[in-house]
């Protein structure tokens, strides 16, 4: 048999609210119990003193009255918890209830040693006893008592207690929400800090601790943006400045006589020029996507992309359709898919595009090939710039090691997700997931 185990809430809001609410409810319950206990003790002490005085005065009055007048005084002397009976009463065992013993002691203390008392519980009743004594003329007198335990509650008291608990729960919810809202804002700001480094700045107000954390986070954003901008400017400047000497070298090589060295120099210059262009492109993608999102027909874009490859004699096919408009950055999407298709053609000889739309509006575009694939422990490493895998990718195919890095940066700028998966039977699947617009 399986028993469900209560799990600790995952969110800080739920944990703090649970701790505060449970703690306050326990404290309120304990306070209520202590108040009732103290009230019960106080009421019991008052009742004992009242019984002590009333019983003593009633017995003294009956003792001084003529025997013929005593019966008519019995109703006048009766109280809610006891009454007087002229007679021997009912015998039984000594009372064992705590309240009965207290009442018997109070009556004995009030009457004193002038009258011999015997006390016994009445059989069949949970809390009933009788005190037996004889008046000075020998007449038996019985005090039949039904001690009243507990303190009667007012009908409105439970309602007030429930109202207090509701107010406490509302105050706990408000306090916890005010305490955790800055953490939520900080998490949202961190999540929106994408490749463009243009996340919304946190308001630097509120309590001193919150304001200090907001200022520190905003300063951290500024420092990161400055460092990344300087780094990308250096990379872009070097890549750009290299284009001029490479162009001069190409002109000089072009006027050289045909020879094996001439062909090798041309190939090296071509690789250098490609590397420089990819470096500039990568630097621009790290600065963020300047392209504004717009509504497009994704099926038309994919069909146009595939037709361009087919017209160029490449083996590229398209399967599936999205069937609805999509809000995205079309040039960035085309660049991502172009890089993925180029890789599939380069290492697999052919590429297949499979597209599908989810019920929530998300779109999945998969680029499939039957190439050598990638080792499982390197599926994330290949997204780093200038990373090449000698064991799985042929050096003769060329490439700069920036294609997947550029695709990943553009994907992040589009708030999408790009991942690589090895296929059953060999090959690689590059899966691009475009989230539904919020």
Helix segments in 133-194, DSSP class H: 157-191
Q: Both 53 and 130 in a single domain?
A: yes
How far apart CA 52 and CA 45 sit, in angstroms, is 11
Mean local confidence (pLDDT), 69-80: 85
- Supply the pLDDT for residue 2: 44
pLDDT > 50? residue 241: yes
Instruction: Give domain status of residue 334, yes or no.
Output: yes
Comparing 105-109, 210-214, 326-330, which segment has the lowest mean pLDDT? 105-109
**Secondary structure (3-state) at 317:** strand
Higher pLDDT, 35 or 367: 367
Q: Both 330 and 400 in a single domain?
A: yes
Burial class of residue 59, CB neighbours in 10 A (0-12, 13-18, 19+): buried
Mean local confidence (pLDDT), 40-61: 75
Q: Both 246 and 319 in a single domain?
A: no
Split at pLDDT 50, 70, 90, the class of 256 is: confident
Check residue 127 and report its DSSP letter.
S
CA atoms within 13 A on the CB side of 170: 6
- Supply the pLDDT for residue 261: 79
Instruction: Give domain status of residue 188, yes or no.
Output: no
Q: Which domain holds residue 108?
A: 12-145
Check residue 414 and report its DSSP letter.
T
Mean local confidence (pLDDT), 129-153: 76
pLDDT > 90? residue 399: no
pLDDT > 80? residue 110: no
Q: Both 321 and 388 in a single domain?
A: yes
What domain count does the chain have?
Answer: 3
DSSP 358-407: -TTS-EEEEEEE-S----GGGTTGGGSTT---TTTS-GGG---S-HHHHH
Instruction: Give domain status of residue 384, yes or no.
Output: yes
Q: Both 243 and 340 in a single domain?
A: no
Mean pLDDT of the chain: 78
Split at pLDDT 50, 70, 90, the class of 366 is: very high
What would the pLDDT profile of 122-136 be if each residue is shown by its tens digit? 877 567 778 888 888
pTM, two decimals, is: 0.49
pLDDT > 80? residue 365: yes
Helix or strand (DSSP H, E) at 131: strand 129-134
- Supply the pLDDT for residue 302: 92
Q: What's the CATH code of the domain at 333?
A: 3.30.565.10
Domain end marker among 117, 145, 173: 145
- Supply the pLDDT for residue 283: 66
- Supply the pLDDT for residue 392: 43
Most trustworthy range by pLDDT among 104-113, 134-143, 172-181: 134-143
Q: Both 117 and 213 in a single domain?
A: no
Q: What's the CATH code of the domain at 58?
A: 3.30.450
In the chain, % of residues over pLDDT 90? 10
pLDDT > 80? residue 98: no
Instruction: Give domain status of residue 247, yes or no.
Output: yes
Domain end marker among 145, 168, 188: 145
Comparing 72-76, 276-280, 382-386, which segment has the lowest mean pLDDT? 276-280
Single out the residue of 351, 353, 342, 352 nearest to residue 397, CA to CA. 342
Contact 319, 353 (CB under 8 A): yes
- Supply the pLDDT for residue 341: 93
Q: Both 343 and 393 in a single domain?
A: yes
Higher pLDDT, 406 or 320: 320
């Amino acid at each position: 048999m399986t028993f469900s185990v209560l799990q600790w809430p995952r969110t800080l809001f739920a944990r703090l609210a649970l701790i505060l609410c449970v703690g306050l409810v326990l404290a309120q319950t304990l306070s209520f119990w202590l108040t009732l206990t103290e009230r019960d003790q106080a009421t019991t002490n008052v009742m004992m003193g009242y019984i002590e005085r009333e019983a003593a005065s009633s017995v003294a009055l009956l003792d001084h009255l003529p025997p013929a007048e005593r019966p008519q005084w019995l109703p006048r002397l009766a109280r809610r918890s006891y009454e007087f009976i002229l007679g021997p009463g009912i015998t039984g065992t000594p009372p064992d209830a705590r309240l009965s013993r207290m009442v018997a002691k109070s009556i004995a203390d009030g009457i004193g040693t002038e009258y011999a008392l015997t006390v016994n519980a009445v059989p069949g009743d949970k809390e009933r006893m009788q005190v037996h004594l004889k008046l000075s003329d020998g007449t038996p007198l019985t005090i039949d008592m039904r001690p009243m335990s507990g303190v009667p509650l007012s009908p409105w008291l439970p309602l007030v207690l429930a109202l207090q608990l509701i107010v406490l729960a509302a105050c706990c919810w408000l306090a916890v929400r005010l305490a955790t809202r800055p953490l939520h804002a900080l998490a949202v700001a961190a999540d929106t800090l994408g490749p463009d480094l243009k996340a919304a700045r946190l308001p630097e107000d509120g309590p001193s601790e919150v304001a200090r954390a907001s200022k520190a986070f905003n300063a951290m954003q500024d420092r990161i943006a400055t460092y990344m901008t300087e780094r990308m400017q250096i990379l872009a400047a070097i890549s750009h400045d290299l284009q001029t000497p490479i162009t001069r070298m190409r002109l000089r090589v072009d006027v050289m006589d045909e020879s094996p060295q001439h062909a090798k120099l041309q190939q090296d210059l071509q690789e250098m020029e490609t590397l420089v262009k990819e470096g500039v492109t990568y630097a621009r993608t790290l600065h963020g996507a300047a392209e504004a999102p717009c509504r497009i027909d994704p099926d038309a874009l994919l069909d146009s992309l595939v037709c361009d490859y087919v017209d160029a004699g490449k083996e590229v096919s398209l399967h599936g359709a999205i069937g609805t408009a999509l809000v995205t950055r079309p040039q960035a999407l085309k660049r991502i898919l172009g890089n993925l298709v180029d890789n599939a053609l380069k290492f697999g000889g052919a590429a297949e595009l499979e597209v599908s739309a989810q019920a929530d509006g998300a779109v999945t575009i998969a680029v499939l090939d039957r190439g050598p694939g990638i080792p499982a422990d390197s599926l994330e490493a290949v997204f780093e710039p200038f990373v090449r895998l000698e064991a799985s990718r042929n050096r003769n195919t060329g490439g700069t090691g920036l294609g997947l890095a550029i695709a990943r940066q553009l994907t992040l700028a589009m708030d999408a997700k790009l991942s690589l998966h090895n296929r059953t039977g060999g090959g690689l699947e590059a899966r691009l997931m475009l989230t539904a617009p919020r």
